[in-house]
Amino acid sequence: MAIVGRIVTPHGERWAAWTDRGLVAVGARRAEVVTTARALGLRESDGPDGATVLTEVDWRAMPGGFRGRVLKACTRIPAGQVVTYADLAHAAGSAGAARAVGSAMAANPVPVIIPCHRVIRADGWLGAYSAGGTAMKARMLRAESVAVYGDRIG
Report the residue count for the chain.
Answer: 154
Our answer to whether residue 116 is catalytic in this structure is yes
Closest listed residue to residue 118, CA positions, set 95, 146, 149, 90: 146
Neighbours of 67 (CB within 10 A): 19
Query: Among positive and negative, which fits the CA dihedral 118, 121, 126, 128?
Result: negative
First to last CA, the chain: 44
Q: Annotated catalytic residue: which of 3, 97, 104, 116?
A: 116
In which element (H, E) is residue 38 found? helix 30-39
In which element (H, E) is residue 99 found? helix 98-106
State the catalytic residues.
116
